[in-house]
Amino acid sequence: MRYFLDTEHIDDGERFELISIAVVCEDGREYYAAVEGYDPSAVTPWIEEHVLPKLPPLGDPRWKSRRQIRDDLADFVIGDEIEFWTMCAWSDWSLVVRLFGRFEDTPDSWPMACWDLWQLEAELGLTRDDRLREPDGVHNALIDARYHKRIYESLRRLPAARSE
């Protein structure tokens, strides 16, 4: 089962912290949450302009504790031969693992790595110009996770189309 992941996060050079997360499953299920209690003092001007306006309004039930998000993800990500895919695997995967504490604490059925769509594009010889047009609303984790799923689907069709 493939899961397409995106996070929005703080990275100010000292702090690396989750703000929101979305996971879209190939079977159509979706999960989205924003993190209660992220450190607003670490928000950079870029995050303030591009990410914060796309978060749910305060009081929305999608605002959850890190512990609740961890538990939700453990319940949401099910199946055999699980794969995670994203556009920036090193950061997104690190933030997911941190929700559980250590890598050893992630669910046993989860893989040890996350696949990177940027690397797949490079392997196929594609450039950024070859990528699908970004949807409106990027830097909202759910919109981006859906976009990652579309990119994956389009890339997996390419080799078959080229060989015809």
pLDDT at 162: 44
pLDDT in tens, 39-73: 999 999 999 999 999 999 999 999 999 999 999 99
Span between the terminal Cα atoms of the chain, in Å: 28
- Percentage of residues in the chain with pLDDT exceeding 70? 95
Q: Is the pLDDT confidence value at 137 over 80?
A: no
Domain boundaries, the chain: 2-163
pLDDT value of residue 75: 98
> Given this model, what pLDDT does residue 163 score?
41
Q: Could you give the residue ranges of the DSSP H alpha helices within 2-140?
A: 45-50, 66-76, 89-100, 117-123
State which CATH number among 3.40.50.720, 3.40.50.2300, 3.30.420.10, 3.30.1390.20 fits the domain covering 2-163.
Answer: 3.30.420.10
Say which range, 3-7, 80-84, 97-101, 119-123, has the weakest mean pLDDT: 119-123
Q: What are phi and psi of 3, to 5 degrees?
A: -125, 135
